[in-house]
Structure formats: C-alpha cells, structure tokens
C-alpha cells in the first residue's frame, strides 16, 4: 500500500530526485566552451602552449623555458585567448646579433629576456582574417609586457607585425589561441636601451685625473668638499663608507650618488640576489645576505654611493660544510661574507689574466686587514691557501658594471697567523783551555827521558 503514490513507485521517485539534483549541480558549474585552461593554471593537451612547445619554432620555445615564463603564460591562457607571433628558427639562431643574444642569455638580464618574449604575445585572439584593411591603416594591440605592436596590411596583400613580415599566417590554431609565423624577432625599445646601457657601461666611464683632496685624519672627512663630477668614482676609500658596526647607524659616504641616487644600488643588489636564486646552487649565500645579516642593505648603499664590488659566492655544497661553531659567534656570518667581497670590479677574464701574468695576486677584502690570494691552477683561478682553498667554479654569474658575482666551490677563511715558537738559546759551556799539541808531545818526551822531573815541569 505504501510502496506507491498515485500509481508511481518510490524507486521511480528516487531516480527522479537524483537526476534533478545532477542537472542542477551541472548547471551551477562554470562553463568553458572555448576550451581554455582553468584559472588554476593547469592547461590541457590541446592548449596553444603545448602546441608551441611541440611546434617547429624550437628556438622560441627554448627561450620561453629559459626565461621561466611557462607559469606566467599559463595564467594568461587561463584568463583569455592569446595570439603568439613566433619568429623563424633561422632568425633567432643565425640572423640575431651574437652579442645581443649573449646579452639575453646572461642570468643577470632575465627581465630583458622576459620582456622581449612577452612582446610577441597579445592577450587577444587575432586571426589572419582580422588584420586591418590597407585603407584604415595600422592597428595597435597591447602585449603582455605592457607595450604595443602595430598590425599593418599593404595593398599588395603583405601583412606585417611592426617591422616583421607575416610568413605563416594561422600556422597553429587551438581553442585558446593562435600562432602566426613571422620573418624576424620583434625587439622592444626598452630591451634595446638595456642592451646599450650594459654594453656602453656609461656609469663607469673614465674621468680625467684630478688632484687628491685633503682628508681630515681626525674625522676622516674632506676638509674642503669639492664638487664631484657625475659618474666619477667616490673620493674616499670604501672602508670609510662602510657602517661602523651593526649597532650603529650607517656612516654617510661621499660619492656621485649621494641624495640624488645616481646609482640605484638597492635594485642592483636585489637583481643579483634574484640571479643567484634563478641560477641555482647558491640559495644559502642568498639566504645569509637577506635573512641572516643586513649585508644586502649595506651593499646596496655602497653601490648607490658609486662603489664597485666583486662577490666570491660559495655554492650550497660549500656552505653546508660550515659548522655551528663557525656561525654561532656574534658577527661571524658578516665576517665570513666580508672576506668574500673584493672592493674592485673583477670578471673571470680579468682575474685569470692577472694570475697568468703575475703568478699570485692579493686582492683586498672588506674584512680588514685580511687579503685573499688568487693564483692559477688547472686552467682556472684558485683562491686561498692549502686545504682552505676554492676554485672559480661558476664564472660571471652576474656582471652589470657595478657588481660582479663569481661562484666558487669553497668557503674562504683568512690564513691563520701561526706563532713561531722560539727555540731556547744554546748555553755556552766554558771549556778548559787545551794545551798545544807540540807542548804535550814535548812534555811526554821529557818525562820518558828524564824520569818524573820533566812531567813535573810540564805541570
């Protein structure tokens, strides 16, 4: 009697309620008819990014991986369709200036490489049929690097992207984007300016020599401050500009920067620490500079005042060998790092040429009065003495004309001053005066001839 209601069984009612709930839950889910990836950043196998990595634009795909842009592009694809203008492999591999390509692949210029690659991508789907008409003129489109490119059509049917010709329109089409093949690489103006600035090194151009100013020995300050030309090196040595100690405020240092901040040392130090992290194998060094000490701020202030430094950065394997006793003493991390900072701008080439020419070279460090010794060994540069030595392992990790970072495979310590043990002076024993040989022989002969009288005379 209770198993049916108006001729409908309870099992039919249960199925009806289940399908009703399923339809409501399905309607509540977000729809994605375009086939784009989810906002969580995961992409499907039919994505335009997967197609780019598997396409014949291998040089562009390799640059995208080296620039660490995959996650950024996944987020862009998750929000909207994209259009990628992919240059031919020959344009990147052979037709690109070797010096400019070397500049892009240096770890310190990662931001420039990312800007250049994102300049080839617009957050909008633009097919070849959507190019502007020749009569309307060029049309601007914003790129992922907050710059814009111009799409132009000519009366001859030729289509261009800025100065690059469209050679393979609609080469790869996917639900979340499209890839067009272009003749050459697109280079934004900001990247060209960065390249010229690094190549010319305008911040360290030579200046005419002038007379040394007078320094007050009591205050270590200039007696008569003279105007310093822009770009000139600081007048006082770097040791006068360093902070007196962790408990005192940093001492002001003269230099071309001063309150005008001609050199942005803070950004340069942040840039080289980020380069250490992206390079890999130097996380411990970066952690000490940022978290364990205030040396990053100190180095940034020194560079802002116009000073140059070279950092000998031990890798993680070398830093792991430090004991707790070596790091637990107050100020020990600072003293260790100070011994690895040379107040000069040196590259791998300059140091190797120096040790090849002079054999051993002693470089000043920020840990006064200790110096680090460099010499040639096994075709490289070797620092330190004996078992506490380290080799130049990763040359020129970061070089920007102000800060140079050279990776080494060991932690350096100053050579211990061994006290020579003085030997006790030999005590002179006064010996009895010996008789001459002739006198002894004469006394013996007299004694043998004349009995005991000769012997007594000799006594």
Looking at 339-405, list the stretches that DSSP marks H as alpha helix, in order from N- to C-terminal side. Answer: 348-358
User: Running DSSP on this structure, what letter comes out for residue 282?
Assistant: -
**195: confidence class by pLDDT, cuts 50, 70, 90:** confident
Q: How many domains does the chain have?
A: 2
| 416 within a domain of the structure (yes/no) | no
Q: What is the pLDDT of residue 244?
A: 61
Contact yes or no for 228/256 (Cβ under 8 A): yes
Report CA dihedral (347, 348, 353, 356) to the nearest 10 degrees.
140
The mean pLDDT of 272-276, rounded to a whole number, is 91
Beta bridge partners of 121: 84
Task: Let me know if residue 237 belongs to a domain.
Answer: no
Mean pLDDT highest for which of 6-20, 35-49, 191-205?
Answer: 191-205
Whether residue 366 sits in one domain with residue 269:
yes
Last-in-domain residue among 364, 390, 408: 408
* CATH number where 386 lies: 2.30.180.10
* Residues 37-76: tens digit of each pLDDT: 444 445 678 899 999 988 889 999 999 998 989 888 988 8
Domain residues for the domain of 160 are: 48-194
pLDDT at 363: 94
Are 369 and 284 part of one and the same domain?
yes
Q: Is residue 328 part of a domain?
A: yes
pLDDT for res 228? 62
- Tens of pLDDT along 140-190? 999 999 899 999 998 888 999 998 999 999 999 999 999 999 999 999 999
Read off the pTM.
Answer: 0.44
Confidence at residue 342, expressed as pLDDT on a 0 to 100 scale: 95
Contact 187, 180 (CB under 8 A): no
Q: Identify whether 221 is part of a domain.
A: no
The larger pLDDT score, comparing residue 33 to residue 218, is at 218
Domain boundary among 408, 439, 454: 408
Is 88 domain-assigned? yes
Structural domain contains residue 20 = no
Asked if 282 and 400 sit in the same domain, the reply is yes
Predicted local distance difference test score (pLDDT) of residue 305: 83
Domain boundary among 159, 177, 194: 194
pLDDT band at residue 320, thresholds of 50, 70 and 90?
Answer: very high
Is the same domain home to 187 and 270? no
Same-domain pairing of 287 and 182: no
Residue 95 has pLDDT above 90, yes or no: no
- State residue 450's pLDDT score: 57
The tokens of 301 are what? 């202030």
Asked if the structure places residue 330 within a domain, the reply is yes
**Do 159 and 276 lie in a common domain?**
no
Q: Which segment of 92-96, 395-399, 445-449 scores lowest on mean pLDDT?
A: 445-449
Note whether residue 252 is domain-resident: no
User: Per residue in 46-55, is it b (16+ CB within 10 Å) or e — as a string?
Assistant: ebbbebbbeb
DSSP character at residue 258:
G
Tell me how many helices (H) and strands (E) the chain has. 18, 18
């Amino acid at each position: 009697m209770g198993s049916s209601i108006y001729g409908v069984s309870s099992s039919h009612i249960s199925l009806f309620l289940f399908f009703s709930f399923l339809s409501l839950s399905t309607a509540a889910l977000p729809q994605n008819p375009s086939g784009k990836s989810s906002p969580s950043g995961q992409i499907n196998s039919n994505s335009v990014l997967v197609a780019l990595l598997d396409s014949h634009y291998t040089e562009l795909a390799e640059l995208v991986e080296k620039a660490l842009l995959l996650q950024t592009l996944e987020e862009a694809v998750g929000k909207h369709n994209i259009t990628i203008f992919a240059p031919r492999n020959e344009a990147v591999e052979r037709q690109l200036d070797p010096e400019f390509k070397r500049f892009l692949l240096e770890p310190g210029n990662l931001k420039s490489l990312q800007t250049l690659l994102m300049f080839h991508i617009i957050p909008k789907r633009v097919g070849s049929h959507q190019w502007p008409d020749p009569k309307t003129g060029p049309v601007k489109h914003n790129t992922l690097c907050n710059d814009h490119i111009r799409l132009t059509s000519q009366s001859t049917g030729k289509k261009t992207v800025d100065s690059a010709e469209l050679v393979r329109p609609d080469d790869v089409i996917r639900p979340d984007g499209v890839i067009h093949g272009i003749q050459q690489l697109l280079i934004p103006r900001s990247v060209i300016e960065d390249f010229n600035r690094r190549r010319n090194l305008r911040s360290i151009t030579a200046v005419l020599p002038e007379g040394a100013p007078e320094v007050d020995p009591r205050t270590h300050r200039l007696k008569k401050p003279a105007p310093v030309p822009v770009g000139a090196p600081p007048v006082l040595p770097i040791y006068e500009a360093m902070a007196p100690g962790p408990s005192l405020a940093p001492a002001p240092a003269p230099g071309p920067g001063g309150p005008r901040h001609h050199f942005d040392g803070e950004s340069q130090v942040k840039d080289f620490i980020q380069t250490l992290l992206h390079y890999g194998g130097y996380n411990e060094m970066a952690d000490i500079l940022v978290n364990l000490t205030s040396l990053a701020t100190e180095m940034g202030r020194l560079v802002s005042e116009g000073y140059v430094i070279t950092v000998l950065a031990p890798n993680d394997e070398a830093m792991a060998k430090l004991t707790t006793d070596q790091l637990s003493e107050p100020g020990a991390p600072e003293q260790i790092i100070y011994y690895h900072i040379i107040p000069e701008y040196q590259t791998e080439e300059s140091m190797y040429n120096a040790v090849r020419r002079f054999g051993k070279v002693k470089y000043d460090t920020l840990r006064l009065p200790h110096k680090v010794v460099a010499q040639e060994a096994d075709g490289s540069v070797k620092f330190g003495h004996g078992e506490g030595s380290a080799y130049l392992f990763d040359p020129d990790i970061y070089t920007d004309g102000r800060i140079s970072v050279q990776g080494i495979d060991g932690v350096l310590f100053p050579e211990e001053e061994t006290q020579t043990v003085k030997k006790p002076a030999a005590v002179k024993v006064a010996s009895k005066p010996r008789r001459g040989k002739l006198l002894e022989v004469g006394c013996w002969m007299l004694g043998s001839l004349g009995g005991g009288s000769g012997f007594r005379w000799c006594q």
